[in-house]
A and B are shown apart, each in its own frame.
Chain A
Amino acid sequence: MTEIRNYTMNFGPQHPAAHGVLRLIMEMDGEVVERIDPHIGLLHRATEKLAESKPYNHSIGYMDRLDYVSMMCNEHAYVLAIEKLLGVQVPIRAQYIRVMFSEITRIRNHLLWIAAHGLDIGAMAVFLYAFREREDLCDVYEATSGARLHAAYFRPGGVYRDLPEKMPRYASSKVHSDDEIHAKNMNREGSVLDFIESFVERFPACVDEYENLLTDNRIWKQRTVDIAVVSPERALQLGFTGPMLRGSGFAWDLRRKQPYEVYPELKFDIPVGATGDCYDRYLVRMEEMRQSNHIIKQCVDWLKDNPGSVMLDDHKLTPPSRESMKDDMESLIHHFKLFTEGYSTPPGQVYQAVEAPKGEFGIYIISDGANKPYRLKVRAPGFAHLAALDEMARGHMLSDVVAIIGTQDIVFGEVDR
């Protein structure tokens, strides 16, 4: 008789389905997973320690690079924590802009998630469709902040600048005919807000398109239904937040339950799953895209009607205008002090969480009164989710591990920090 034994298998860290640099040591019984030991930290950059050696504003750029597919949501948590520590209230227009961009970021994150998740478990076409829309949102990022990914647009005290009046257009080129260029520029005639509005109008049809490809697709359902079922009790025990918690049946959303900025003014629904499997989490995220779209629409309408300041006028915290620096000594001094030394926060400790696309993204700051945080802790949703991979994957097939990594929406920038 042949002897049958478990064997150990290595997965990653260089594997297209590992979503970055995940290394798994898997103990297998045939093709069934007995135990998984994730080895993380290959992207550890000590963001928290770096932030402790820099003035507060210097670390905004590091926040982008944590969860590098939902950049502005990370910044949002960081600037809110600083504002809580300082006790300042940002202008209402800045709050609407921040909320709008948080939701744009949520759609961007979910588009990348559905693209990669689909690709991982065999639905190739969704990738192309999802990236088509994501491209437009990259353009919005670029038009507003100058960067397509790492925006550094949210600042303590508001946002870096108001939404631009003009949306950049495609120039004529050798490879595209004038008609093509004209068609591409159709919705770019007006301001950035007009462009966002045109996006909001056509986006629900795009989500229908993705759902057409997947929701009733037999293969998609075979790969996701009843895979990695998480009961409500276990979801709480394992520290799940965001779509992972909602997929297990909790209508828990920080935007509603512990609202920040202008979320109380906005209408949106919280989608909830029933069974807590990969398919439910998929449905939750798809609906979240529609709800985010709805929020963006409300923000666009408000922003069109209500011009105003987008940055606090307190120049101990925010830079003065370039013009005033040229002939006003006080502005010059403020500018110099802000950029060489920064601002000091009162001593104390704060924890501020936001509903990031992946779950609760929290920033814990301990200040001892200096111009740098004494200790900064980033609470990343993906960290708790990945820690549950072992439990979720036990008893599943090797190919399901890929589906589980996909459903967790893992990004290593925030897991490893």
Chain B
Amino acid sequence: MSTANSDQKRTAFDAVALKFDATVDEDFEEFTLIVPAHNVIALLRSLRDHPDFLFEQLIDLCGVDFDQHAGRGDKHPERFAVVYHLLSVSKNTRVRVVVYLPEVEPIVRTVVGLWASANWFEREAFDLFGILFEGHPDLRRLLTDYGFVGHPFRKDFPLSGHVEMRYDDEKGRVIYEPVSIEPRVTVPRVVR
């Protein structure tokens, strides 16, 4: 990526960020826009439709739980975040849009109306993190079991889960029981 090209992009992103009260970050040659939740739809819409950007594709959407992150507080002001990865096929650029959501009632407007691919991505983020997408046409669980309780990718959800299942001979059906495995850490987390 040439510097001139990068500066041009920077200017365009700065302009759109100013308009929607967002901040621009450039790290590892990737642009990140951090936007307040009430402006996220307007920002994404202009990223999709504005001739400077033309992000026709929502490549990825995921939830993040910053609960135990070392930068929680100053760098990451809220517990949850939704991260959008956009790709422009015509301009050959990428951008990341981050919106932080509070611990109680993490709700954000859906982007299914902007990109059809958001449908399952949002269902997944709801399933795994409990982030709610207002206006989503079909916000059901996607990856976890039928009747699953909890949101497993939250940091306070244990790696080994809460329940295990087995076939019970007497009852003649599969039953759920509290997990019998002890959680253990094989390699401790080290920050250097």
**Chain A positions near chain B (C-beta within 8 angstroms):** 40-41, 44, 46, 48-50, 53-55, 58, 84-85, 234, 236-239, 241, 245, 250, 252, 257-258, 340-342, 344, 347-351, 353, 360, 362, 364, 366, 368-372, 374-375, 377, 379, 383-384, 386-388, 391, 416-417
Contacts and interface: CB of A to CB of B under 8 A. Distances in A.
A310 to B, nearest CB: 25
Given A347-B71, A351-B85, A370-B189, A375 B64 contact: yes
Nearest to B71: A368
A368 B70 contact: yes
Contact of B117 (A238, A371, A416): A238
Given A44-B143, A364-B85, A377-B62, A348 B190 contact: no
Query: For chain A, what secondary structure do more than half of its interface residues adopt (helix, strand, loop), or is it mixed?
Result: mixed
Contacts of B58: 239
Nearest to B87: A360
Contacts of A364: 60, 62, 83, 85
B116 A237 contact: yes
Contacts of A48: 153
A380 to B, nearest CB: 9
Given A340-B187, A344-B192, A351-B30, A368 B69 contact: yes
9 contacts: A46-B153, A239-B57, A342-B187, A348-B27, A360-B87, A369-B70, A377-B60, A386-B120, A417-B143
Interface string B23-45: 00001101010000000000000
A210 B70 CA distance: 55
A344 B188 CA distance: 12
Contacts of A340: 187
B187 A55 contact: yes
Interface in B83-138: 83, 85, 87, 89, 92, 94, 96, 115-117, 119-121
Nearest to A385: B117
A50 B117 contact: no
B159 A53 contact: yes
